Amino acid sequence: MIIKRMMAGVYAANCYILFDEETKEAVVLDPGGDIDDVCKALNQLEAKVKYIILTHGHFDHTTGVDGLKAETGATVAMAKEDNDMILNNIMYYGPLIEGGAELLLKHGDILKFGNYKIEVLATPGHTPGGISLLVDGNVFTGDTLFKGSVGRSDLAGGDHNELITSIKNNLMPLSDSVAVHPGHGPSSTVGQERMENPFL
């Protein structure tokens, strides 16, 4: 699996392309903007995008969804709680395609693209519907867990205690070798965060 990280939008959120070289199927995570650049990267890979998945509903991770959906026809997926926040026009959430996401995700769901499986891990706290995505020894944590830090919880729907509980219950049990790819900043590993993250 190829993982391509792109910094998208005015807040330079990490947008990830996950690409199966054999089948050419791909998934795009958190397209926060700069869709022309994302589409250029997809075209270079000759990728067929199956899913656009959002780790949470804040605008710096969702602004490019509508444009990317129009270009690719991919299915948009996210947790129901954050989809509802967008549809209710809560501050800092959205935009999204009209009518919201087509696929609402919950803990334990499995999505398949190419030869790979993506497991959905519920990690609320930064937002009520925050999720992390586990695939092939990698976990994409959105704004839940960063290298040496955790997400803020002072915006609508945030809860710091829930955030820490989510990380400890659903991320820290993963193997030390699992790579952590956050919604902003550099990557890490579960083992490194277990040992060094001061919030844990």
User: 145 with 182: CB under 8 angstroms?
Assistant: yes
- When divided into structural domains, the chain yields a total of 1
The yes-or-no verdict on residue 10 having pLDDT over 90 is: no
| Helices vs. strands in the chain: H and E counts, helices first | 6, 14
pTM of the model: 0.97
Q: Give mean pLDDT, residues 33-60.
A: 97
The yes-or-no verdict on residue 9 having pLDDT over 90 is: no
Burial class (CB in 10 A: 0-12, 13-18, 19+), 72: buried
Beta bridge partners of 60: none
d(CA 171, CA 62) in angstroms, rounded, equals 23
Tens-place pLDDT, residues 72-105: 999 999 999 999 999 999 999 999 888 899 999 9
d(CA 171, CA 25) in angstroms, rounded, equals 26
119: phi then psi, degrees, rounded to nearest 5: -100, 130
- Residue-number span of the structural domain to which 114 is assigned: 2-196
Tens-place pLDDT, residues 15-42: 999 999 999 999 999 999 999 999 999 9
Burial class (CB in 10 A: 0-12, 13-18, 19+), 108: exposed
Quick check: helix, strand or coil at residue 96?
A: coil
d(CA 22, CA 61) in angstroms, rounded, equals 28
Quick check: helix, strand or coil at residue 133?
A: strand
d(CA 107, CA 90) in angstroms, rounded, equals 23
| CATH code for position 81 | 3.60.15.10
